[in-house]
Amino acid sequence: MMRILSNASAHQRGFTLLELLTVLAILSAASISSASLVRAVSPSIDINSAIVTLKSDLKNERSNALSRGMPTEIRVYTNAYVLKGGKFRRTMPNGVTIILSETDSPSLVFFDDGSSSGGKLTLVKGRHGESLYVNKITGLISEQQ
């Protein structure tokens, strides 16, 4: 025989308002803590994407110097660098600073024989930083000196 349950049954199943509010509070706390973790990782994400772009641009400029038989210059500013004889400016992501060091010039030059003026390009955001090294003799770009 089939039993029919009525809505007025004393043993109804479900969650109380207190249980639902407790779960909601736990989920809110978890989402707030995960958002702070994402913000902590964000500087390194910005720097890593900027390093990939910068490395690609440097390799392209070196290749242009070799193929055209003419030096190419990359002028470095605090939050940007300029390529292709001043025709193209690449701005760093918000808050990322670029520093050219280990050279006497505010620019990096790739010569027609593949060599370069050499230097170290460091991208910094907050306490995070990554560097690219440009070898003076070979013009090769690396993340290690």
Give all domains of the chain, ordered by start, each with its CATH number.
42-142 (3.55.40.10)
Rounded CA separation 72/92 (Å):
20
Rounded CA separation 118/103 (Å):
7
pLDDT digits (tens, 9 = 90+) for 26-82: 888 888 777 656 555 566 888 999 999 999 999 999 999 999 999 999 999 999 999
CB 62 within 8 A of CB 137: no
The pTM of this model reads 0.71
pLDDT digits (tens, 9 = 90+) for 2-19: 555 555 555 667 888 888
